A and B are shown apart, each in its own frame.
Chain A
Amino acid sequence: MLARWQRRLAVRQLKDPAYRRLFEETSDDMISLACNTTSLDVAEAELLTIGAVRLSGNRIVTSEALDLLVKPGRPLTRERVGAHGLRPRDLSDGLDAEEAVRRLLDFIGGRPVLGYYLEFDIAVLDKYLRPLLGIGLPNRQIEISGRYYDYKLRQQPNSRVDLHLAALIDDLGVPALPRHDALNKAITAAMLYLALKRRGFG
């Protein structure tokens, strides 16, 4: 009830009617999403890369993945370069943030989005979305760590659940990808989701 009311409010607040379709869940497909940012503090964080990939049934459509580079508004600090391995020159031919976010919205359409600690990524994205749409990303969100927590708790009630990404990868038997760029994170999340789905927690 509350959710429906919030939705209706969001639709009314939407500035650009072209994005009405974000509210229309069209198929069973989903989008796995991940970003790299300049900071781990939402207030400071700026987008650097966006990776997204569509899940269609049991298939991760990596052949049509979205892999975007964003030109940051402020110069990068040295320590963050170490964290994500992107140098200023790597980003110089990136897209303007607005253009990147619009492409992402086109890619997502009405599909639900999923990710690992998605909350942070969405919070950063919403900073860019609000000026454009008047609202944050309205799509349904699936949190991998949450699903994994439910799965583990069902298996072993009262146990502590290790929610580190490495623990999930290891436990669910998903291959560890060599590099941690945004698209690889999105693909990893997608593989984890499919593994959870097999176990009844999709």
Chain B
Amino acid sequence: MSRFDFTHPPFDCLSAAERDTLEASADIVCYGDDEQIMAPGVPVDTLFVVLKGLVREMAGDEVIAVYRERDAFDARALVAGHTAHRFVVHEEALVYALPRATLLALTEQNARFGAFFYASVSQKFGALAERSGNREWQTLLTARVRDVYAKKPLFLDGEDSVLDAARLMKQHKAKSILVRHGRRVGIFTTSDFRDLIIDGTPPDTSLGTLCRFDLICSELDDYLFNALLTMTQQNIQRVVVTESGTPVGILEQVDLLSYFSNHSHLIAQRLEQADSLDELADIAAQITRLVEILTGHGVRAVQLGRLVQTLNARLFERSWQLLAPAELIANSCLLVMGSEGRGEQILKTDQDNALILRDGYTCPELESVCQAFSDALARFGYPPCPGRIMVNNPDWRLSESAMRDRLYHWVYLPDRDAQLNLAIFVDAEAVAGNAALLERCQDYLQQLLRDDDSFYHRFARAIEQFDTPLGLFAQLLTRQQDGQAMLDLKKGGIFPVVHGVRALALQYGLKERNTFERLARLAESGRLDKELAGDVAEALSFLLQLRLGQGLAALAEGRPSGNLISPARLSTMERDLLKDALGVVKRFKTMLRHHFRLGSL
């Protein structure tokens, strides 16, 4: 009978009968401005859905979420039976009150619906990620013919002539066509033309008399690997793709090989064997394609980040080897910093890199080699870093002792960029040459910082630079761009998390570079609440995923990938999760503020 609209998450996964059950148990409640709906210490027995008005969720005096029409609050509190936050009406609200008992019964009955009511956000995100093929090598083995085969088949009739076939194949740039002849289906390929010339067959001969009917087929749902095996065993260049035995198209060996060639192991192998920058440029483009393919297979941003980091590191190393003389390589350490060092740069966004030279070593060609390296990276698609944090900038190719001086200055005599420079240096990872040079510099930095609490205070303060775009009057605070409301994922969510975790990692002297590994280590050692660490990791993973998705879409449209997303273009579920993720970011910031005493000073 559906009185109210239950077509939005999480209610959209309920069956019609389940919706009726829920609706039959629901009441409507009207609250005036500033009335309190839920509060700590009062048992929670109701899930509220806003019909009209605004409700804000408060942690102390801070607004951490705002609920408006169609938003439900609060799933976590409902499962826990209590809440740590106050839910206060911001603007006269009519809400739907759904009783706990009915909801919990439904969560047991309907797993997808239940996923929304798990106690922690972390599990909620996990439910979203319930996708197959999480590990990259699996996609190679589990890819199906369906995944590659996309072309519409070309069909001709058995009565049509050879000439018709030639024209059609030219028009569609096809190497083969299928021929319907009576009840049978045959195949006619380019190599058949060769035989026609040799035999002197006239062009008006009907296809039905020439094509072959002994088709070698692969079913649409068969593994791609099997199709490859078939082609190899039979020494043929294509198989006919069938669906339940009916031919629906042709899978060309070329398509199949290009699919496999975008595979990371093969890319890695090509990297090893590459001996020119041209070849490396080619491979760099292939890495981006790999990202597209794997994203399509549901591989998540976090795993992709690590995979791409490995490949990029080899790409950098190989380029460096091609450009730099062996002596320079042995006497220096090439490092990548920032997101590339953390393994969180999936699409090429900037080239933060530097070179540390052994004390006393000089190389006459140093400048030209470094310039060539930066140019090569630009050619590979890495936009030059706007802050010029690149080896072609003399400020970022230093001897070990000069690097130490630099670190000392950053810590004790900080100038405007000191914090930023330190931040990206903390994430540095060696990719070529003598890694000990970097290690010694990082140890030195740790020594400098030992027991200097005021430093961490200054360092962590950067998280306050940008407000998390989850505000009082709208769920998602956005800024206008070309008439579209935009939200900056990096400033609003990714940066505070990455930097906050970095500050903690620095304070506790962690060796890990990757934010997720740092979080895991912090939770393991009891430095960070386990549940919060889990929530933060999931929130960051979601934000990275979102940025990757929109970055790929931007690349497909020929625009540079950026950090701005338009919430209006997200699905309701994504928008919900984004809100949750930003809520977690706020919680984490509150914790950091307390930890580093950012309120004081």
Contact = CB atoms under 8 A, between A and B. Distances in A.
Contacts of A173: 52-53, 92
A187 B2 CA distance: 13
Contact of A59 (B25, B27, B32): B27
Interface string B23-35: 1111111111000
A62 B5 contact: no
A69 to B, nearest CB: 12
B432 interface: no
Interface string A60-74: 111100000000000
B75 interface: no
| Residue among A174, A175, A184, A198 with max Cβ neighbours from chain B (10 Å) | A175
A184 B52 CA distance: 16
A198 B3 contact: no
B94 interface: yes
Interface in A10-57: none
A178 B7 CA distance: 13
B3 A177 contact: yes
A178 B5 contact: yes
A194 interface: yes
B4 interface: yes
A159 B27 CA distance: 36
A164 to B, nearest CB: 19
A184 B3 CA distance: 7
A105 interface: no
B290 interface: no
A198 B2 CA distance: 27
Contacts of B5: 178
What is the predominant secondary structure among interface residues of chain A facing chain B?
mixed
A177 B51 CA distance: 10
Contacts of A62: 3, 23, 26-28
B564 interface: no
Contacts of A60: 27-30
A195 interface: yes
Interface of B: 2-5, 23-32, 51-53, 92, 94, 97, 99
Interface of A: 58-63, 173-175, 177-179, 183-184, 187, 190-191, 194-195, 198
A187 B51 CA distance: 13
B28 A191 contact: yes
Contacts, number: 54
A187 B30 contact: no
Nearest to B50: A175
Contacts of B30: 58-60, 191, 194-195, 198
Contact of B25 (A63, A184, A191, A194): A63
A179 B380 CA distance: 59
8 contacts: A58-B30, A59-B29, A62-B23, A175-B94, A187-B3, A191-B28, A195-B92, A198-B32
Contacts of B26: 62-63
A58 B3 contact: no
Nearest to A173: B52
A198 B5 CA distance: 25
Smallest CB-CB A-B distances: 10 pairs: A60-B28, A194-B30, A58-B30, A59-B29, A175-B51, A63-B25, A63-B27, A175-B52, A61-B27, A62-B27
Nearest to B33: A198
Contact of B31 (A58, A187, A190): A58
Given A59-B29, A62-B26, 10 more contacts: A58-B29, A59-B27, A59-B28, A60-B30, A61-B27, A174-B52, A175-B51, A187-B28, A191-B28, A198-B92
Contacts of B99: 63
**Residue with the greatest number of chain B CB neighbours at <10 A, chosen from A60, A191, A198:** A60
A199 to B, nearest CB: 10
